[in-house]
Structure 1
Amino acid sequence: MTPEHHTPLDTPEAFRQRARYVVALVVVAVVGLFVLWTTRQVLLLVFLGAAIGVLFFHTSRWLAEHTGVPRGATLAAVVLTVLGVLGAAAVFGGPRLADEATALAERAPELLELARNRLGLPESALTLPEALGTVGGQLLGWFSTAAGVVSGVLVVLIVAVYTAAAPSQYTAAVTRLFDHEHQAFVRDVLAEMGSTLLAWLRGVGIAVALLGTMAAVGLSLIGVPGALALAAFAAALTVIPTFGPFIGWAPAVVVGFAEGTTMGLWTLGLAITAQQIEGSVITPKVQGSMVRVGPAFIVAGQIVLGSLAGFLGILLVVPVLGVGLILIQRLYIGPFVKGEPADPENPPRVSSPDGEVVRADHPAGSALTGRR
Structure 2
Amino acid sequence: MKDRVEVELTKRATIVTSVVLAMTATVALVWAAAGALLMIFGGLLLAAIIAALARPLQWAGLSRGWAFGIVIAFLSLAIAGGLFYGGLTLVSQFNELWNQLREQLQALAKTMADMGIGSGGEGGSGSEDSGEIGLDTLLPNPSGIFSSASRAMFSVLGTLGNVFIVVFIAIFLVVQPELYRHGIVSLFPPSKRKRLDETLGAAADELVLWVCGTGISMVIVFVVTWIGLILIGMPSAFVLALQAGLLAFIPTLGPFIAGIPIVLVGLSESPSMALWGLGVYILVQGVESNVSQPIAQRYTSALPPALTLGSQAVFGVLFGTLGIALAVPLVAVLMVFVRELYVKDTLGGAYGEKTTT
User: Which TM-score bucket, shorter chain as reference?
Assistant: 0.7 to 0.9
1:160 is the counterpart of 2:167: no
Partner Cα separation in structure 2 for residue 236 and residue 121 of structure 1: 37
Q: TM-score, normalised by structure 1?
A: 0.75
Is the contact made by 1:143 and 1:152 (CA closer than 8 Å) also made in structure 2?
no
- Picking from 91, 95, 106, the partner of 1:98 is 91
1:145 is the counterpart of 2:156: yes
Change (3 A) 1:126 1:285: farther
Q: Report the counterpart of residue 216 of structure 2 in structure 1.
A: 206
Partner Cα separation in structure 1 for residue 306 and residue 332 of structure 2: 14
Partner Cα separation in structure 2 for residue 322 and residue 339 of structure 1: 18
Matches within 5 A, 1:135-284: 144-148=155-159, 150-284=160-294
Q: Report the counterpart of residue 77 of structure 2 in structure 1.
A: 84
- Picking from 315, 322, 326, the partner of 1:316 is 326
1:72 is the counterpart of 2:57: no
1:230-288 deviation per Cα after TM superposition (whole angstroms, max 9, x unaligned): 22222222111112101112111121133123322221121111122222211221232
Could you tell me which runs of 5 or more consecutive residues in structure 2 were left unpaired when the two chains were aligned: 1-5, 118-134
Could you tell me which runs of 5 or more consecutive residues in structure 1 were left unpaired when the two chains were aligned: 1-11, 341-368
> RMSD between aligned alpha carbons?
3.6
1:8-61 deviation per Cα after TM superposition (whole angstroms, max 9, x unaligned): xxxx99999888877766665444333322221221121121122134235436
Residue identity in the other structure for 1:201: V
Change (3 A) 1:210 1:129: farther
CA shift, 1:315, in A, is 0.7
Change (3 A) 1:109 1:168: closer
Q: Report the counterpart of residue 352 of structure 1 in structure 2.
A: none
Change (3 A) 1:273 1:293: same
> SS at 1:213's partner residue?
helix
Partner Cα separation in structure 2 for residue 258 and residue 336 of structure 1: 59
1:127-186 deviation per Cα after TM superposition (whole angstroms, max 9, x unaligned): 554554687799x7x9933020x2232122111111111222222122222333332221
CA shift, 1:78, in A, is 0.6
Partner Cα separation in structure 2 for residue 335 and residue 269 of structure 1: 49
Is the contact made by 1:115 and 1:255 (CA closer than 8 Å) also made in structure 2?
no
Change (3 A) 1:260 1:122: farther
Residue identity in the other structure for 1:81: F
- Picking from 40, 54, 65, the partner of 1:60 is 54
Change (3 A) 1:293 1:258: same
Partner Cα separation in structure 1 for residue 202 and residue 115 of structure 2: 50
1:306-336 deviation per Cα after TM superposition (whole angstroms, max 9, x unaligned): 1111111101111121122222222333245
Partner Cα separation in structure 1 for residue 115 and residue 195 of structure 2: 59
Change (3 A) 1:31 1:251: same
Partner Cα separation in structure 2 for residue 37 and residue 256 of structure 1: 43
Residue identity in the other structure for 1:324: L
Partner Cα separation in structure 2 for residue 197 and residue 370 of structure 1: 27
> SS at 1:293's partner residue?
coil
CA shift, 1:74, in A, is 2.4
Is the contact made by 1:238 and 1:245 (CA closer than 8 Å) also made in structure 2?
yes
Is the contact made by 2:101 and 2:261 (CA closer than 8 Å) also made in structure 1?
no
1:214-238 deviation per Cα after TM superposition (whole angstroms, max 9, x unaligned): 3334323422222233222222221
Partner Cα separation in structure 1 for residue 313 and residue 255 of structure 2: 17
Q: TM-score, normalised by structure 2?
A: 0.78
CA shift, 1:303, in A, is 1.3
Partner Cα separation in structure 2 for residue 153 and residue 292 of structure 1: 28
When Rg is computed on C-alpha atoms for both structures, the one with the higher figure is 1
> SS at 2:257's partner residue?
helix
